[in-house]
């Protein structure tokens, strides 16, 4: 190893890089295929709201200027939409950025973070990147075992990550369950409630997490425009917490971490709640379509409240390859200790149909 790299701390050299879904262009290059369906990264098959696209065109002529580093307009829109004062909001280059900022602000050598087995891969990554210790708590029915997570808290634990719904399993804890846990978690532990998929919840599943902030100064809620709002390519998300928590995070944040087009698009997207209704309806129909398909193929799946389903196919690596050969990209989740499963994002009815057909062929090819 070259000298400069040898000096890098062991906890960084031991990092396993995040494995993103395979890009469409890469599979096109490899296979020479033109028609490719990507159901690998929980992206929105409807694309962004037309209002977001219009805001982007309007912002284009200003691209020579730096974005507003405080993101005032977007924060104002978020503040009005969620009834949250602006000093309680931090914007991120995707919510991934918010998670990383939390780690850089609250974690470091000599501290630890608690998260669940099969939870979002970014939690161990950001924890390890800052030299903190990750405490992975075994899952219960593929979901978070909150009791065990609370029991795992140590005196040096500074952050508890909780994805609700969780990715890649789609599991969900009721609002009452999360709220009851919050009452018991010591206030020195920042609870990061990652709600990347919250917009997909059915009305009876929704819970008012933002209203808990008044009582719990150790709660940070993270949200994203990447999933239901269909803006994954722009990179914009946000965190909401006590003003002191936000103030500390802002000291670590890059001054221009959210780009100008993302700021404009997100503010516009927030206004188009009719679009979100269409997104939800398409997703519900798609979940049912995929579930029926899996039942027909006798494949066990984990019931999901997100925009994806994780299904047990046996030799997942082979089935994944057999799907790729047919121009369909899904997500292997072996890195999540689920080597027999594949995660598939809900697409349009036509995409789901083609996926199910290809899956049936892939299963035969793989046996």
Ligand X SMILES: *Cc1c(COP(=O)(O)O)cnc(C)c1O
Residues that bind ligand X (CB under 6 A): 42, 94-96, 120, 163, 167, 194, 196, 224, 226, 232, 237
DSSP 140: B
Q: CB-wise, 165 or 327, nearer to ligand X?
A: 165
Q: CB-wise, 42 or 157, nearer to ligand X?
A: 42
Sorted by sequence, the CB contacts under 8 Å of residue 114 that are 6+ apart come out as: 135, 137, 149, 152, 153, 157, 159, 160, 161, 189
Q: Which two tokens stand for residue 168?
A: 């890649």
Q: CB-wise, 96 or 310, nearer to ligand X?
A: 96
Q: What minimum distance in Å lies between the beta carbon of 287 and ligand X?
A: 16
Distance CA 257, CA 244 (A): 20
State residue 297 phi and psi, 5-degree precision.
-90, 5
Distances (CA, A) of 63 to 56, 260, 264: 10, 7, 12
Q: CB-wise, 39 or 362, nearer to ligand X?
A: 39
Q: What minimum distance in Å lies between the beta carbon of 173 and ligand X?
A: 13
DSSP annotation string for 198-249: GGGS-GGG---GGGGGGT-TTEEEEEESSSTT--TTT--EEEE--HHHHHHH
Distance CA 124, CA 132 (A): 9
Q: CB-wise, 240 or 322, nearer to ligand X?
A: 240
Q: What minimum distance in Å lies between the beta carbon of 20 and ligand X?
A: 10
Q: CB-wise, 137 or 322, nearer to ligand X?
A: 137
Residue 28 contacts residue 318 (beta carbons within 8 Å) = no
Q: CB-wise, 226 or 351, nearer to ligand X?
A: 226
Q: What minimum distance in Å lies between the beta carbon of 49 and ligand X?
A: 16
Q: What minimum distance in Å lies between the beta carbon of 11 and ligand X?
A: 22
Distance CA 292, CA 18 (A): 31
Q: What minimum distance in Å lies between the beta carbon of 255 and ligand X?
A: 19
| Closest residue to ligand X using C-beta atoms | 94
Q: What minimum distance in Å lies between the beta carbon of 295 and ligand X?
A: 25
Strands (DSSP E) contained in the chain are 37-38, 89-92, 112-116, 133-137, 157-163, 190-194, 219-224, 237-240, 301-302, 308-312, 328-329, 331-332, 341-345
Alpha carbon distance, N-terminus to C-terminus of the chain: 42
Q: CB-wise, 200 or 275, nearer to ligand X?
A: 200
Q: What minimum distance in Å lies between the beta carbon of 98 and ligand X?
A: 8
């Amino acid at each position: 190893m070259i000298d400069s790299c040898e000096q890098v701390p062991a906890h960084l050299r031991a990092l396993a890089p995040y494995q993103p879904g395979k890009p469409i262009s890469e599979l096109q290059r490899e296979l020479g295929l033109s028609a490719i369906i990507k159901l690998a990264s929980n992206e929105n098959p409807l694309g962004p709201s037309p209002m977001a696209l219009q805001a982007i065109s309007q912002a284009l002529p200003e691209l020579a200027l730096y974005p507003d580093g405080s993101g005032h307009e977007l924060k104002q829109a978020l503040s009005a939409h969620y009834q949250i004062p602006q000093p309680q909001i931090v914007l991120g280059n995707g919510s991934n950025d918010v998670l990383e900022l939390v780690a850089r602000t609250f974690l470091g050598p000599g501290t630890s973070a608690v998260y669940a087995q099969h939870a979002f891969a970014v939690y161990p990554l950001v924890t390890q990147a800052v030299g903190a210790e990750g405490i992975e708590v075994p899952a219960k029915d593929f979901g978070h075992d909150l009791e065990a997570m609370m029991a795992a808290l140590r005196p040096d634990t500074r952050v508890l990550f909780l994805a609700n719904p969780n990715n890649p399993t789609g599991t969900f804890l009721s609002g009452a369950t999360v709220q009851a846990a919050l009452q018991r978690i010591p206030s020195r532990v920042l609870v990061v409630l990652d709600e990347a998929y919250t917009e997909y919840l059915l009305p009876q599943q929704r819970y008012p997490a933002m209203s808990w902030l008044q009582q719990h100064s150790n709660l940070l809620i993270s949200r994203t425009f990447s999933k239901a709002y269909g803006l994954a390519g722009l990179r914009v998300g946000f965190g909401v917490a006590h003003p002191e928590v936000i103030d500390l995070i802002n000291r670590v944040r890059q001054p221009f971490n959210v780009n100008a087009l993302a700021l404009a698009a997100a503010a516009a997207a927030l206004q188009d709640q009719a679009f979100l209704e269409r997104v939800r309806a398409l997703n519900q129909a798609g979940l049912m379509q995929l579930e029926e398909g899996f039942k027909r193929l006798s494949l066990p799946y984990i019931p999901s409240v997100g925009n994806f389903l994780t299904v047990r196919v046996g030799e997942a690596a082979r089935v994944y390859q057999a799907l790729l050969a047919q121009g369909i990209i899904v997500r292997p989740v072996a890195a999540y200790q689920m080597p027999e499963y594949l995660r598939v994002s809900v697409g349009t009815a036509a995409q789901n149909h083609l996926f199910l057909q290809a899956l049936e062929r892939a299963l035969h090819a793989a046996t």
